[in-house]
């Protein structure tokens, strides 16, 4: 199985990011994979996400998507849960993209299970003594974590806290994995947010480490390590390209975790533009 994967194309952030949808389409047409994984953060604009899906619609492979936090930002009266459960699945269906957070995808003896994931402060830094009150502000000096202003995810008639949203999405992900386990030789998981601390670089600098609290939830990782069928994990959100092995408990094996985000071209893009495409649209044989 050949898997192409990336995340965080943020096509509304710069002219170069906007060009990514066509550049990815061209690259995948040259080396068509069996599976193309896009692990979230296309854009905060539904119009942009539709445009991306239109570009990808003629790529001759299976296309799997999970949303990122930017993809569910509120927009023109549409709530985050409205995007997650209604609008984004509908766009996927219209353009031949599988909404992995809504339904697992079987491929031979492999089943792909996915979730946006979320954060619950379990990936917070241990190097700088921030308090729960510090994190509740979602702001460090002049920098605001924009989910504070743009995410409104409802459940039970009210806006869910980050912890409650993590609970709900984790419960759904576990249910998908348990449902899939009986018919799967292995499970490959796709997230936007991170499930393991090992994926984060903590450097002891407050302005950097503060935001690690919003990278993901270790509770997803705890479940992953408890399920011996899960063999590979693809993630986004953290704008660093990485591949690493996570030791599995009570076995000699390890889980393989992969991240290959584009991020923001001006700050994080490989120059020239063509190198960015080669380095951040990754191909893996599994």
Q: What's the pTM value of the predicted model, to 2 decimals?
A: 0.97
Residues 244-265: tens digit of each pLDDT: 999 987 666 789 999 999 999 9
Calpha distance 124→198 (Å, rounded): 12
Calpha distance 116→189 (Å, rounded): 11
Position 194 scores a pLDDT of 98
Is the torsion defined by CA of 113, 116, 121, 125 positive or negative? positive
Position 250 scores a pLDDT of 67
Residues 209-248: tens digit of each pLDDT: 999 999 999 999 999 999 999 999 999 999 999 999 999 8
Give the domain extent around 267: 2-285
- Give the domain CATH number at 196: 3.60.21.10
Q: Which candidate, 195, 188, 135, 197, places its Cα nearest to that of 170?
A: 195
Position 249 scores a pLDDT of 79
Position 252 scores a pLDDT of 60
Position 248 scores a pLDDT of 83
Calpha distance 63→272 (Å, rounded): 27
Position 280 scores a pLDDT of 97
Spell out, as residue ranges, where the chain has pLDDT lower than 50.
none
Position 253 scores a pLDDT of 75
- Spatial contact of 142 and 129, defined as CB atoms under 8 Å apart: no
The structural domain count of the chain equals 1
Calpha distance 54→57 (Å, rounded): 5
């Amino acid at each position: 199985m050949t898997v192409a994967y990336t995340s965080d194309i943020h096509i509304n952030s710069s002219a170069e990011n906007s060009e990514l949808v066509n550049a990815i389409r061209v690259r995948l047409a040259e080396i068509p994979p069996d599976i193309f994984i896009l692990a979230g953060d296309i854009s905060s604009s539904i119009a942009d996400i539709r445009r991306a899906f239109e570009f990808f619609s003629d790529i001759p492979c299976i296309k799997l998507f999970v949303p990122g936090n930017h993809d569910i930002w509120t927009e023109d009266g549409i709530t985050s849960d409205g995007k997650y459960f209604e609008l984004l699945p509908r766009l996927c269906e219209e353009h031949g993209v599988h909404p992995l957070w809504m339904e697992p995808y079987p491929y031979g003896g492999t089943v792909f299970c996915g979730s946006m994931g979320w954060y619950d402060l379990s990936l917070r830094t241990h190097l700088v003594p921030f308090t729960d009150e510090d994190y509740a502000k979602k702001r460090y000096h002049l920098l605001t974590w924009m989910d504070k202003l743009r995410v409104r995810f409802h459940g039970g008639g009210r806006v869910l806290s980050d912890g409650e949203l993590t609970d709900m999405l984790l419960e759904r992900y576990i249910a998908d994995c348990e449902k899939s386990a009986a018919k799967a030789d292995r499970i490959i998981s796709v997230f936007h947010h991170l499930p393991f601390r090992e994926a984060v670089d903590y450097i002891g600098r407050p302005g950097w480490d503060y935001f690690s609290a919003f990278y993901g939830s270790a509770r997803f990782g705890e479940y992953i390590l408890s399920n011996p069928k899960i063999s590979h994990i693809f993630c986004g959100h953290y704008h660093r390209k990485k591949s690493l092995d996570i030791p599995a408990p009570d076995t000699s094996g390890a889980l393989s975790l992969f991240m290959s985000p584009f991020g923001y071209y001006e700050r994080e893009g490989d120059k020239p533009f063509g190198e960015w495409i080669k380095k951040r649209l990754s191909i893996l044989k599994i």
